[in-house]
Amino acid sequence: MGAELGAHAISHLEEVSPEGITAMAQSGTVAVILPTTAYMLRLRPPPVRDMIAGGVAVALGSDFNPNAHCLAMPVVMNLACVTLHMSMPESLVAATINAAHSLGQSAMHGSLERGKWGNLVLLDAPTWEHLIYQMGCHNEVISAVIFKGDVVHRKK
């Protein structure tokens, strides 16, 4: 229904139908997946693999609310990989450029490109995947956070 109404993004898609997935793909509507909500409320996970196979852009969000107190995107990304069978690269794209696109902000945010804001997380890890591997211990691998080109957090 949201895709038919011209929604830019739709969340809470645990019950989306195959027809809904097709409509989202055709309209360019972004599917915002909320792994912590489905996990905490023990809901059936949304059909993310079907969405990706159907050509829907998938974004990740925390849906921070009274039922899912999680602001940590590395945890969201871990749950997306473990419970929704997303690959690590898929979860990275969903948490960055696709998330920015879901908010209408991908022209300036979501990827490292000339002319965009310099927002990034620097890791002290062998590979970027360790941000997802270390469930709940992401503070151990984050060495710095840069926002709008300025270091706003540095590991002590």
DSSP class of 110: S
Q: Is 3 inside any structural domain?
A: no
Give the tens place of pLDDT for each residue, 115-132: 998 899 999 999 999 999
Mean pLDDT of the chain: 92
pLDDT value at position 136?
79
Name the residue type at position 78: N
Decide if 133 is inside a domain. Answer: yes
Partner residues linked to 145 by β-bridges: 121, 153
Q: Per the structure, how many domains does the chain have?
A: 1
pTM of the full structure: 0.92
State how far Cα 71 lies from the chain centre. Answer: 12
Domain with 146, as residue range(s), is 9-154
pLDDT of residue 137: 79
Whether 4 maps to a domain, the answer reads no
In a domain, 2, yes or no: no
pLDDT, residue 152, reads 96
Return all residues near 74 (Cβ < 8 A) that are at least 6 apart: 131, 132, 134, 138
Find the CATH number of the domain harbouring 141. 3.20.20.140
Q: What is the pLDDT of residue 5?
A: 81
Tell me, what's the pLDDT at 156?
A: 83
Is residue 136 one of the residues assigned to a domain? yes
Residue 105 belongs to some domain of the structure: yes
